[in-house]
Amino acid sequence: MTDIKLNNSTLATASGSTISLTNGLTLKTSASAATTSGTAHDIAIPSGVKYITALVKDCGLAGTGTGSAGHVVLQLGNSTSFITSNYYVSGGYLAGGVEDSDAGFLIFNATWGETVQMFIAEFYNNGSDNIWFGKGQGSYQGTNQGASATMYIPQMAGWVDTSSELSRIRITTTEGRTFDQGSIQLLYS
């Protein structure tokens, strides 16, 4: 067991894939899924989960080119399929424009060679239906790497009806672009 402390006060205790907070809440962690290849990566979620945090780290898209490579999105799925439309999500950038997405919870509008340093998305279910609410914020670096790189702070919020119990989450792109680095991991209760 490992104590997680702040100013010598224990906030939580971690043991294996379980984090027990001092307020009584227990979080489980999924295995980390590498986003170093392919166009989509899925993580299963146990039955009965009502709260999920998705942690996306150093996620990038392969290739070069002109124009947009599409959105990087998180899609929720039930036991039969992933929900690929009918999301009611808006996303944007601080000091930037706003975009809507019906294909998933928007992480960022990616162009080739950009990297998400981190993105944290939280999903909540009120327990009485299959509607999931999501919100998230992060940072990503534009195509100019190094000291001259442009940094963006994307945000998103929205909801989707999964029509039955949630059983998995997918990170993917709307244009089928290939991932070339990074990872995603879930915390849930």
Work out how many domains the chain is built from and give that number: 2
- The answer to whether residues 104 and 147 belong to one domain is yes
pTM for the full model? 0.82
* Res 154: pLDDT: 84
* Res 143: pLDDT: 59
Query: In this model, does residue 5 exceed pLDDT 70?
Result: no
Q: Look at residue 146 and give its three-state secondary structure.
A: helix
Burial class (CB in 10 A: 0-12, 13-18, 19+), 29: middle
Pick the more confident residue, 158 or 66: 158
Written as one letter, the residue type at 84 is T
The predicted-structure confidence for 81-134, as pLDDT tens digits, reads as follows 999 999 999 887 765 566 677 788 877 755 556 777 888 899 999 787 899 999
Place of tokens 């960022």: 108
Written as one letter, the residue type at 110 is A
> Which domain does 19 fall in, by range?
1-30
- The answer to whether residues 110 and 136 belong to one domain is yes
Written as one letter, the residue type at 139 is S
- The answer to whether residues 26 and 47 belong to one domain is no
Distance CA 159, CA 104 (A): 9
Distance CA 40, CA 185 (A): 14
Query: In this model, does residue 146 exceed pLDDT 90?
Result: no
- The answer to whether residues 107 and 138 belong to one domain is yes
- The answer to whether residues 141 and 50 belong to one domain is yes
- Name the residue among 189, 188, 185, 187 with its Cα closest to residue 32: 185
* Res 87: pLDDT: 92
**C-alpha dist (Å) from residue 105 to 111, 143, 183:** 17, 23, 17
Provide CB contacts within 8 A for 93, sequence distance 6+: 152, 153, 154, 155
